[in-house]
């Protein structure tokens, strides 16, 4: 927390500029202009001082393996979690867009999309996806930004859907980020979050692994990756053999959620630092008194992410202050609106 605040203070003092980030696509190197000088130097300082994983670098590799099947899976996962057929007529904020795949999926489902990320290479990846699939599309904007910057979030206006999948626990200040992410959400809009599940003992161990990975020199990083993946592959193999399942099935693309890839997810998991966690009830207890109704929940029982879709109450609803009450009480003078 102290580190994150110190870094953030530093961000505020830097001036904005332009950066060109190289993205390699099927052996071809292209350049994406990322207007992200403000973040670039602090981001690279954090990486150099072993405080941050290079998420964007991993996404850059992931884009090489992007297929129409993965894009369709990303669209399906949005449809399923949000319970919609499409997003026509809605606005979608992708906070911490990473590869940009969810932004692309939302745009293809018909939403107007704004994507931002703190990592300049993630910004460049998203720009590269736009260049490939939606060049000159005025309804998809991309820039560098941070969920820890309330001023930036206020400047974006309001969105019907705020999507921040697997991001807030990587900011270094998860609870302030959970507060900030509400800022650009319109009343009655939906917040789609994924947050790493807290485990009583394992969370400590995973934090140690990730901390070691980001602070290790590159050869040692590969050693950590080798040891961890060997352990995971062996564990998976034993489990599948005992349960009489096909041991290869877990690596097949059809079984990967959200169009992700096993290898890039594994790297992201090993290195993904800063790292914080929360139980599903902690997340619920955080948003419920702030006027949010939980519409959909997919709880992880292991170390993965729990997914939440919350609806922000309309302004003329009032909330009881009682924990665990059903919470919504319409004001006598206001008709109770439909939440569909």
Ligand X SMILES: C[S@@+](CC[C@H](N)C(=O)[O-])C[C@H]1O[C@@H](n2cnc3c(N)ncnc32)[C@H](O)[C@@H]1O
- Per DSSP bridges, beta strands 328-330 and 305-312 are unpaired
Q: Enumerate residues 176-215 that contact ligand X by CB under 6 A.
A: none
Helix, strand, coil shares of the chain, percent, nearest 5, are 45, 20, 35
Q: How far is the CB of 237 from ligand X (least distance, A)?
A: 26
Q: Rule CB under 6 A: is residue 127 a binding residue for ligand X?
A: no
The least distance separating ligand X from the CB of residue 105, rounded to whole angstroms, comes to 10
Alpha-carbon torsion (163, 208, 2, 291), positive or negative = positive
| Nearest alpha-carbon partner for 253 in 69, 83, 91, 53 | 69
Q: Are 100 and 142 within 8 A, CB to CB?
A: yes
Please, which of residues 260-279 interact with ligand X by CB under 6 A?
268, 272
Q: Which stretch binds ligand X (CB under 6 A): 16-24, 92-100, 286-294, 316-324?
A: 92-100
Contacts of residue 76, Cβ cutoff 8 Å, sequence gap at least 6: none
Q: What are phi and psi of 35, to 5 degrees?
A: -80, 75
| 152 counts as binding ligand X under rule CB under 6 A | no
Strand arrangement, sheet containing 185-196? 140-144, 112-117, 91-95, 159-165, 185-196, 305-312, 292-298
Residue carrying structure tokens 């003329």 = 316
Q: How far apart are CA 238 and CA 329, in angstroms?
A: 52
**166 vs 189, which CB is nearer to ligand X?**
166
By CB under 6 A, is residue 147 in contact with ligand X? yes
Residues 112 and 133: their CA atoms lie apart, in Å, by 15
d(CA 115, CA 35): 13
Build a one-symbol-per-residue string for 19-58: x at contacts with ligand X by CB under 6 A, - elsewhere: ------------------------------------xx--
Residue whose CB is less far from ligand X, 167 or 178? 167
Using the rule CB under 6 A, give the single segment among 27-35, 79-87, 142-150, 280-288 that binds ligand X: 142-150
User: In this chain, which of 46, 75, 117, 276 binds ligand X, going by CB under 6 A?
Assistant: 117
Q: If binding means CB under 6 A, how many residues of this protein chain bind ligand X? A: 21
Q: Least CB distance from residue 42 to ligand X, whole Å?
A: 10
Q: Which of 171, 197, 261, 277 binds ligand X (CB under 6 A)?
A: 171
Q: For residue 33, what are the contacts with CB-CB under 8 A and spacing of at least 6?
A: 18, 19, 20, 127
Window contacting ligand X (CB under 6 A); options: 11-19, 145-153, 184-192, 293-301: 145-153
The token pair that represents 291 in the structure block: 């006027």
Is 119 one of the binding residues for ligand X (CB under 6 A)? Answer: yes
Q: Can you tell me which of 98, 184, 189, 291 binds ligand X, judged by CB under 6 A?
A: 98
- Is residue 148 a contact residue for ligand X (CB under 6 A)? yes
Q: Give the footprint of ligand X on this chain (CB under 6 A).
A: 55-56, 96-99, 102, 117-119, 122, 146-148, 165-167, 170-171, 268, 272
């Amino acid at each position: 927390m102290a580190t994150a605040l110190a870094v953030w203070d530093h961000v505020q003092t830097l001036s904005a500029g332009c950066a060109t980030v190289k993205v390699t696509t099927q052996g071809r190197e292209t350049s994406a202009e990322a207007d992200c000088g403000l973040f670039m130097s602090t981001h690279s300082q954090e990486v150099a001082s072993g405080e941050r994983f290079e998420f964007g670098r991993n996404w850059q590799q992931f884009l090489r393996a992007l297929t129409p099947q993965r894009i369709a899976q990303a669209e399906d996962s949005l449809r399923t979690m949000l319970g919609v057929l499409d997003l026509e007529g809605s606005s979608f904020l992708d906070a911490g867009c990473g590869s940009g795949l969810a932004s692309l999926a939302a745009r293809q489902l018909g939403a107007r999309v704004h994507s931002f990320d703190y990592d300049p290479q993630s910004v460049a990846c998203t720009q590269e996806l736009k260049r490939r699939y939606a060049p000159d599309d005025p309804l998809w904007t991309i820039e560098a930004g941070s969920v820890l910057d309330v001023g930036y979030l206020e400047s974006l206006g309001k969105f019907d859907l705020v999507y921040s999948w697997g991001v807030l626990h990587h900011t270094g200040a998860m609870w302030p980020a959970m507060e900030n992410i509400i800022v650009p959400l319109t009343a009655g809009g939906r917040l789609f979050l994924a947050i790493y599940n807290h485990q009583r003992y394992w969370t400590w161990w995973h934090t140690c692994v990730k901390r070691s990975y980001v602070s290790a020199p590159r050869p040692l990083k590969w050693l950590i990756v080798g040891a961890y993946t060997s352990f995971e592959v062996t564990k998976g193999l034993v489990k599948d053999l005992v349960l009489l399942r096909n041991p290869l099935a877990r690596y097949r693309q059809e079984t990967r959620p959200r169009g992700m890839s096993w290898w890039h997810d594994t790297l992201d998991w090993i290195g993904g630092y800063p790292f914080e966690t929360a139980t599903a009830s902690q997340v619920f207890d955080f948003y419920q008194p702030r006027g949010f109704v939980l519409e959909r929940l997919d709880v992880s029982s292991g170390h993965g992410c729990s997914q939440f879709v919350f609806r922000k109450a309309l302004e003329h609803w009032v909330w009881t202050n009682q924990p665990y009450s059903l919470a919504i009480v319409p004001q006598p003078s206001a008709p109770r609106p439909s939440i569909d």
